[in-house]
Homo-oligomer: A and B are copies of this chain.
Amino acid sequence: MQKYFIPKESLEKRIIDNSDAFHIIKVMRNRIGDQILVSDNDKTYLAEIASLENNKVSFEIVKEETGNNEMPVFVTIFQGYPKGDKFEDIIKHSTELGAYEFYGVMMKRSIVKIDEKKKVSKLERFNKIAKEAAEQSYRDILPKVVDIIELKKIDFSSYDYKILCFEESAKQNENSNFKNIIKKLKMNDKVAVVIGPEGGIDESEVKYLESKGFISCALGPRILRTETAAFYVLSSISYEMELK
């Protein structure tokens, strides 16, 4: 069953009239009486379609669903801004894997530059990708792509654990820092994960992050591409905390 994150107002009026209506009518080809899941990013409801016309869908609520599909911890991915479409893939799959929110981070070895004008449309697109992935993977909440920002402008003070994914640690056969942290995580902890762009993290950035309380971690013995690191981190946390 398809899930839709809709504005609070839409939920109150029991009407969907944006691109989700297009998706319901044209992509899913739903009919009157079909069931969907709707969420206002707070609660999720099982709903039944009451009418469909001209890109407008009305529905009735059948019952509240008690979802329990969220990670027990809040993982923020601080992704060194990569080239091409990579950040989109990272957002898409990391949303399925349970990430709480994302920042694109301009780091020394980021090659792409994003000006303020571009940033608005980029963030809009990234959040659309997160929404689609959250709906498809039955998330209870909608992860947000908060900002594209310079490393030094980020306030890391509110995080309980701070993980720096560092390929040099893998080369030096470090193999315990990551698991040590994950084993300590408790319900509702806030976890910051910093991942460098393609060229890696500059030494001065490593020092800066360590001064902010980050622990350099290898993610296994192999050198992961920038777009693979978040998948490893999130999968491992899910494996450790969500599976019995």
Chain A residues with CB under 8 Å of chain B are 68-69, 89, 92-93, 96-98, 133, 136-139, 171, 173, 175-176, 178-179, 182, 219-225, 227-228, 231-232, 235-236, 238-240, 242-244
Contacts and interface: CB of A to CB of B under 8 A. Distances in A.
Contact of A223 (B89, B138, B179): B138
Contacts of A133: 225
B223 A137 contact: yes
Nearest to A218: B243
Given A93-B231, A138-B221, A219-B235, 4 more contacts: A137-B222, A175-B243, A179-B244, A239-B239
A114 B221 CA distance: 35
A46 to B, nearest CB: 14
Contacts of A179: 239, 243-244
A69 to B, nearest CB: 5
A221 B69 contact: yes
A223 B175 CA distance: 30
A103 B68 CA distance: 34
Contacts of A244: 175-176, 179
A129 to B, nearest CB: 12
Contacts of A219: 235, 238
Which of A69, A133, A231, A239 has the most chain B CB atoms inside 10 A of its CB? A239
A54 to B, nearest CB: 30
Given A178-B243, A227-B93, A243-B175, A98 B220 contact: yes
A180 to B, nearest CB: 8
30 contacts: A68-B173, A69-B221, A69-B222, A92-B225, A93-B228, A96-B222, A96-B224, A97-B224, A97-B232, A98-B222, A136-B223, A136-B225, A138-B171, A138-B222, A176-B243, A176-B244, A179-B239, A179-B244, A220-B238, A220-B242, A220-B243, A221-B242, A231-B235, A232-B238, A232-B239, A235-B235, A236-B236, A236-B238, A239-B239, A239-B240
